[in-house]
Every structure is written in C-alpha cells, then in structure tokens.
Copies of this chain bind each other. A is one copy, B any other.
Amino acid sequence: MSENSNIGTYKFIAEPFHVDFTGHLTMGVLGNHLLNCAGFHSTDRGFGIATLNEDNYTWVLSRLAIELDEMPYQYEDFSIQTWVENVYRLFTDRNFALINKEGHKIGYARSVWAMISVNTRKPADLLALHHGSILDYVCEEPCPIEKPSRIKVASEKVKASLEAKYSDIDINGHVNSIRYIEHILDLFPIKLYKEQRIRRFEMAYVAESYYGDVLTFYIDDIGDGIYNIEVKKNGTEVVCRSKVIFTEK
C-alpha cells in the first residue's frame, strides 16, 4: 500500500537539541513533526490551514495517541507517513507511521481533528466542505494501535503548577499543543526515563489556556507503568488529559 498516493511521506533527522538525555528523540518533538506532517499533507490536498483561513476555518487537534517500539537516535534519519482513515461530519481520523533509518515501521500514531469557524468557534461540517472532496483522500492503510482512550483522573492533589509564559504561547494566543506534552513529561523523575521508555502516549485536548493562566497538574498512578494526567487552568477548568504508559527498555 506504500505507493498509495493518498499517503504522504516526509523525511527527518533526529537533531541534537531534539533528543533527550538518552539520545532518543523526545515525544514533544515527535508530536511536533506529526502535526507538521498533517499540515503538509492537508495543504497539498487543498485542506491546509492557509486555504481554510481564507474561508475563516481552521483545524483543531482533539486527540493524539502515539505508540512506539523504539525512538530514533540522535543524527539518525527517519520518516513519517500520514493518511486520512475516516471522515465524519464533525471529526476526521488521521493516522501516522514512524519509519526508522532501515525502513522498518517502529511506531504508529492516531489523531482526531475537528474543523471550526474562526469567528464563531463552532464546528464545521467536514462533509459539506469542498463538496465532500475530503472523502477522496480516505485511505485503507493499517494502523495497528488502539484508538485514543477515554482518560479519567481522580487525584485532586496538585503534582506541579506553573504559569503559562511567553514561550508557551502560539500564534493563536493559546498555550501550544506541544508545550503541554513537554510539561506533562516533566512531571516524571529522570530515574524513570533511565530505566524505562514511553511505549504509549495519549493527549486529549479539551479547552484552550492562555498567557498568565496558572496550569495545575494532577496524576493518577494506575500501576503497571500507566499514568493518567489532568491539566487544569486556574484551579478549575480542565484543559487537557494525558495517558503515559512506560515499559521496560
């Protein structure tokens, strides 16, 4: 299926400031690359942010789930493939494969996106857009990882707290999607990363936060290396939830 023209393939190299202390690409940088690939792929097909903005629409990332056997090491070449799995009226599923320097698939990711009106913030009907031509790009490539799960967090004990600063804020004035990933991974002690690696990482984006918002982090340790995390702004509203599953190296 790899020659399928509905699959976009993009090449990368694991840059020195994009790897962690173990020398492997960070989850935040991988997330950034995945979202960029989504952007390249949709732009090439007439559904990119720039085109949408002309009509006052934009894509909003709702869910992201990444599951990996390994992460590229510093200076290694790797590539990311992306394709559209499903299009519904209000959501679309976009999947990814991570391919190492030898050409082997070492991981997959699933993402769920909505399109909203920039003016009203209300969701758009994806099937009505461009006379439904987005359906032409749906592609039956396998993505053998589970869909993003429903994450629940019971803890009310603040594990960490920070104020959203200049470097956290994107062009839309929101704390950017990647920064949440970094802040969440910073909840764990470096000892854990020495002994284990992240096998699966999930994000559910619920609401936007802004410059000066105080973000508080709550964590449930489920056992077996599974952690559920909730991020709230200003002590009340949920901003996002995450599930991190560690495994032995």
Interface residues, chain A, with chain B CB atoms under 8 Å away: 15-17, 19-23, 26, 28, 32, 35-36, 39, 49-50, 74-75, 165-167, 169-173, 176-178, 182, 185-186, 188-190, 193, 211-212
Determine if A167 and B185 form an interchain contact, defined as CB atoms under 8 angstroms apart.
Answer: yes
Inside 8 A of A190's CB, which chain B residues have their CB? 166, 169, 211-212
Contacts of A176 in B (CB 8 A): 17
Q: For the complex formed, measure the closest distance between the CB of A123 and the CB atoms of chain B, giving whole angstroms.
A: 21
A-B CB contact pairs (8 Å), 25 listed: A15-B36, A16-B35, A16-B170, A17-B32, A17-B36, A17-B170, A17-B176, A17-B177, A20-B167, A20-B169, A20-B171, A21-B166, A21-B169, A21-B170, A21-B171, A21-B172, A21-B173, A22-B171, A28-B167, A50-B75, A165-B186, A166-B185, A166-B189, A167-B182, A190-B211
Give bound CA distance, A176 to B182, whole Å: 14
- Choose among A35, A167, A189, A212 the residue with the greatest number of B CB atoms under 10 Å from its CB: A167
**A210 vs chain B, min Cβ distance (A):** 10
Contact B28 A171 (CB under 8 A): no
